[in-house]
Each structure stands twice: as structure tokens, then as C-alpha cells.
Amino acid sequence: MAPSPVRPFSSLLFVSLLFTISGCLPFSCQRSQPRALFPADSLSRQYAESTSIDTLITVWETVGGSDIELVYPRTVRFDSLGNIFASDAQNNEIYKFLREDGVIDRVYTSISYETPYLVGIREDTILVFNPALRRIDYTVDDETQLYVQLPSDESGPERLQYVLATEDDIYYKVIEKDFPGYIAKVDRDGNIEEKTEIPTPYWRFAGALRMWNNELLSLSAYRPFIDFIGESNTLDSLALFGFDSPMLARSRAFVLGNTRQPPLLYSSAATLNDYLFVLNLRPGWLRIDVFDTEGRLKHRLVQQEPGFNKEFYPIDIDARISDEGGIELIVAYIKPEPKLSLYSWMPES
């Protein structure tokens, strides 16, 4: 399909409506915290405390370039060569960073980009989801070569949308309060081939889509779970055993109806072989929990010299195997300043 011109829209409020529900981050919730935990959360906490902590090595950090300042780096992805692509949902641009030093090598712009969300990289083609238009643009050399118009439905302006594009398939998730949410497999013409309904409560299923060992994975950022599509196109949940958070007590209080807002427990996750890397939100320092395919915590990774900063928000992550055989992790931050940080980690085995 040929693209049609649109007027760019760069409201940060619009970005927030698209990518998060009315929840709270560790730095924004009230200071008077409940203390009681669900039994499963209590067991997870005990197990987490017995799991060793590894320190990440910072390779480089960047806030942009000489004439480019990151404002809202919403998504980050490695390409096949290890270079890094990031979408800025406020600047409405896509940036390519060189893996060696974090220098911006290329800027992608398009009149079609509205709060752009990276969903795939195919050699010289980047796949960009534009939420307001419900479409994926296939961009080569700043030109949209074609686009896929995603299905329309009766959801409203506060709907949450998540898209994943693999080599062969496109997946689309939509949730909203008082709306029957779903995950759909979509063909290149935007037609739904398969559909899985999302049960209530809708907030429990807020989170991005990932592919993990050829299975579609749906994140659940407000509770320590992940979901897979099982038999008869229903969702099967897997608890993340060993997940610990200072917000678990508030999560229990919300589920029981004792607080107004659910706390955001993890902002994103990346898959690599048999590992799931989860951005476990803390009020002040980076914490990445590493789970195996059974959902069991294997490693806890922290940044060098962790400190306390009440406004601290890593928002997205991707992972790859480095040329040296270790693991590289790219993390996008919104607070305390918009930036990208590249980390390395060498597992013992």
C-alpha cells in the first residue's frame, strides 16, 4: 500500500496514554506503603535474596549527538551487526547508533511518524508502528515503501497497543478498560488470521509482545507474570518465581481494592535464547532480573555503583550475544535524563 501524508503529533501526554495505564512508578507512589504480601510474592522474595548478584559493566552512555538531544527514547533494538536503533516518541525520529561508541550514524525521519515505536529491523528496512494511525511503516532510506494497516475496532482513545513483527508474522495486542481486548496475528493486508481474547482485568495484561524460542510472549508489567498463547487460542500464564520488588505490597493492596493505582513492577523485557531479561523497576538504580524458560530467577544484575534517585525510569531493553561470547544489553532511560546505556555481562556458564 502507498503511504498517505499525515500531520505529525508529538504530545507527550498522548505517548503516555498509549504506553501505560493509570498506574504508579516506584518514585511516584505515596510514601506510606502497605507491608503485607501475597504468599507467592513472599516466597519469591525469599528466593531472590538467595540468588547471587552480578555487576554489569558500562560500555558507553549517550544522550544523543552534537545537534540531537534525546527526549523520549521509547524503544531500542539491536540489528544483526550489533548496531542500535532507538525511536524517540517526542522527536518523532528513529536513530541508528554505532555499537562501538554510541555515536549517531543515521537519523530516520518521516511525515508518517507519530510517537514511533520500533517493531522490527530487516537489513536496510526498519519497521515502525505509528499508534495513532494503527499502522506499521516499512521505511528504507527515509522513504515509506509500504505500510500495513492494522485492524480497527471499538476501542477508545485510551487504548493500549503493542506490536511485534517477526520475519514472517505480525502480532497486534489491544487492551482498554471496559473493552474486550485481544491479541491478533495479522497478515500483510491487515486481516486477522488468528485471534486470542484477553480476559479481565485489562491492566493485568498491559505489556509488550516478544518472541521467545518461537513462542509468542505477552508481558504483564503490573504483576510478576508472563503469558503465552496456548491451546484453543487461550492465554497460559507463567509466574516469574524469584521476582522481588519494593512495590509488591502495593500490588497486593491494589488487587484487593485497597489502593487506587496498580504499581508498575517492570517496564519491559528482552529475550535471548533461554534467557528473559526483565527491567525490574527500583527507586534509584538499574536492576535486571534474568529468568529461565521455566520462569525461575537465575541471576540478578545491577549497575556499577548503584545509588538512590527517586526519579529513575528505564523504559526499554534489548539483548544480544557479543562478539566475545558474553551478553550485551542496551537500555533506554527516560529519567533522570533521557539516554541510552550499553552494558556487558559475562555469565559464568
Closest by alpha carbon to 12, among 91, 117, 67? 91
Q: What is the pLDDT of residues 64-104, one digit of tens each?
A: 988 899 999 999 999 999 999 999 999 999 999 999 999 99
pLDDT of amino acid 27: 65
Q: Is the pLDDT of residue 325 over 50?
A: yes
The Cα 32–Cα 54 span in angstroms is 31
Q: Once rounded to an integer, what is the mean pLDDT over residues 7-11?
A: 34
Q: Picking from 3-17, 30-44, 250-264, 305-319, which range would have the lowest pLDDT averaged per residue? A: 3-17
Residue 339 has what pLDDT? 97
pLDDT exceeds cutoff 80 at 11: no
Indicate the average pLDDT of the chain.
89
Which residues, 6+ apart, have CB-to-CB distance to 15 below 8 Å?
72, 74, 89, 90, 115
Task: Show the 3-state SS of 243-265.
Answer: CCCCCHHHHHHHHCCCCCCCECC
* Sequence letter at residue 322: S
Q: Report the number of secondary-structure helices (H) and strands (E) in the chain.
A: 3, 25
Is residue 3 very low, low, confident or very high in pLDDT (cuts 50, 70, 90)?
very low
Looking at the predicted structure, is the pLDDT value of residue 167 above 90?
A: no
Assess whether pLDDT exceeds 50 at residue 13: no
In contact, 250 and 265? CB cutoff 8 Å? no
Superfamily covering domain 12-345: TolB, C-terminal domain (2.120.10.30)
Residue 250 near residue 273, CB atoms below 8 Å: no
Quote the pLDDT of residue 63.
96
pLDDT at 50 over 70: yes
pLDDT at residue 1, as a whole number: 41
| Residue 41 scores a pLDDT above 90 | yes
Q: Which tens digits make up the pLDDT trace of 175-201?
A: 999 999 999 999 988 999 999 999 999
Q: Can you give the pLDDT at residue 279?
A: 98
pLDDT in tens, 109-133: 888 888 999 999 988 899 999 998 8
Nearest-angstrom CA–CA distance, 272 and 243: 19
Tell me what pLDDT residue 177 has.
92
Give the C-alpha separation, 341 to 58, whole Å.
7
Domain boundaries, the chain: 12-345
* Contact present, 164 and 119 (Cβ < 8 Å): yes
- pLDDT score of 244: 97
Residue-wise pLDDT tens digits, 128-140: 999 988 999 998 8
On the question of pLDDT at 258 being above 80, the answer is: yes
